[in-house]
């Protein structure tokens, strides 16, 4: 038996189990072999960084539920350990689990910035905004060592290519110089995920992500540097953090955010089981109410994958949540105008080639 498959609650980790990946053909179960192995405490899971060398930097999607067609993911897996992360099941493609594997087996991508540079320079490339952070956080702890996200921003700035970022990591402030310059040229906007102002809830819900106060500081400093910021209440979880919606929007508006969005909790594939295990471990008295409200908004299930429904849900609870969001945004001056329009007209295929002005200057 792999010790990692056993139930274990670790400080600084989100999942409380490490089930096998959903594509694996075998499952392991704990059994007493007579040598007392089950009495030994599980080994503490340590973070391991693994190299992945993809063939392409840019991933394209056609989902009508997301506001971008192109993304680049610097990392696969995420040490932040957010128990609700919809990307957890993607670790199954490496024959790894969506539980502790997802937050301890982190894939980084050597040479990703150079690969992106080549793809942007290709003659047939059509410039559209690229999102960093569509899958996992580009400013998770691994970024301190590898600097992949910063290298990508340097390439995008050289190409005058528009970029959007989604993060809950305070490390983004390290790159304020690049982001401010991109924003000055109307090439950048940032979405900061803010799910709770309760430090105790944050420590179990998002164990290694930045604290709520740190995320509000990120919003203030980005806005102060001229970077447009949207706050994302993602996800809203029934009977757990949904009561904070108005407080979250007020705090974000006071920090300088001008736009906001929200998403109802999504639990695709094995994430439903992982979330329920976490919920019954940390909030047992509230677990049934949380799950029942979620089912009410998901056509009786824990997840509804249909486009147009998966982000917001349906039914009385979902309608009320959307109405509260709209009213609070109006009260705090959010979404009074559309988010920033990024400029694709400045794009340069080959930053090293002489530009028109240089030829005749």
Q: What predicted TM-score, i.e. pTM, was given to this entire model?
A: 0.90
Q: What HEC string does the chain produce?
A: CCHHHCCCCCCCCCCCCCCCCCCCCCCCCCCCCCCCHHHCCCCCCCCEEEECCCCCCCEECCCCCCCCCEEECCEECCCCCCCCCCCHHHHHHHCCCCCHHHHHEEEECCCHHHHHHHHHHCCCCCCCCEEECCCCCCCCCHHHHHCHHHHHHHHHHHCCCCEEEEECCHHHHHHHHHHHHHHHCCCEEEEEECCCCCHHHHHHHCCCCCCHHHHHHHHHHHHHCCCCEEEEEEEECCCCCHHHHHHHHHHHHHHCCCEEEEEECCCCCCHHHHHHHHHHHHCCCCHHHHHHHHHHHCCCCCCCCCCCCCCCCCCHHHHHHHHHHHHHHHHCCCCCCCCCCCCCCCCCCCCCCCCHHHHHC
Domain range annotation of the chain:
3-28+41-334
pLDDT per position as a tens digit, 161-218: 999 999 999 999 999 999 999 999 999 999 999 999 999 999 999 999 999 999 999 9
Q: What local confidence, expressed as pLDDT, does residue 306 receive?
A: 73
- Domain 3-28+41-334: which CATH number of 3.30.470.30, 3.40.50.2300, 2.40.110.10, 3.20.20.70: 3.20.20.70
pLDDT per position as a tens digit, 67-124: 678 999 999 999 999 999 999 999 988 889 999 999 999 999 999 999 999 999 999 9
């Amino acid at each position: 038996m792999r010790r990692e498959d056993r139930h274990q609650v670790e400080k600084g980790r989100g999942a409380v189990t490490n089930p096998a990946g959903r594509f694996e053909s075998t499952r392991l179960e704990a059994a007493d072999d007579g040598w007392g192995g089950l009495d030994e405490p599980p080994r503490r899971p340590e973070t391991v960084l693994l190299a992945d060398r993809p063939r392409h930097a840019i991933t394209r999607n056609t989902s009508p539920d997301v506001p971008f067609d192109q993304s680049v993911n610097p990392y696969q897996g995420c040490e932040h350990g957010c128990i609700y992360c919809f990307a957890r099941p993607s670790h199954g493609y490496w024959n790894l689990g969506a539980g502790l594997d997802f937050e301890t087996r982190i894939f980084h991508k050597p040479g990703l910035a150079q690969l992106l540079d080549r793809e942007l320079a290709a003659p047939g490339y059509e410039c559209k905004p690229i999102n960093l952070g569509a899958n996992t956080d580009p400013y998770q702890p691994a970024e301190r060592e590898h600097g992949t996200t910063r290298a990508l921003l340097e390439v995008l700035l050289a190409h005058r290519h528009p970029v959007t970022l989604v993060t809950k990591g305070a490390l983004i402030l390290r790159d304020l110089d690049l982001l401010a310059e991109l924003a000055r040229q109307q090439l950048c906007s940032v979405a900061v995920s803010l799910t709770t102002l309760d430090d105790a809830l944050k420590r179990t819900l998002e164990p290694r992500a930045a604290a709520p106060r740190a995320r509000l500081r990120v919003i203030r400093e980005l806005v102060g540097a001229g970077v447009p910021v949207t706050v994302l209440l993602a996800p809203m979880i029934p009977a757990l953090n949904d009561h904070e919606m108005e407080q979250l929007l007020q705090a974000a508006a006071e920090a300088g955010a001008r736009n906001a969005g929200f998403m109802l909790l999504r639990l695709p594939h094995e994430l439903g089981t992982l979330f329920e295990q976490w919920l019954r471990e940390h909030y047992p008295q509230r677990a049934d109410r949380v799950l029942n409200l979620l089912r009410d908004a998901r056509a009786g299930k824990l997840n509804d994958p249909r486009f147009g429904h998966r982000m917001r849900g349906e039914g009385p609870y979902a309608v009320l949540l959307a109405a509260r969001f709209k009213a609070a945004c109006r009260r705090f001056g959010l979404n009074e105008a559309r988010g920033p329009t990024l400029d694709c007209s400045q794009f340069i295929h080959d930053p090293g080639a002489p530009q028109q002005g240089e030829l005749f200057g």
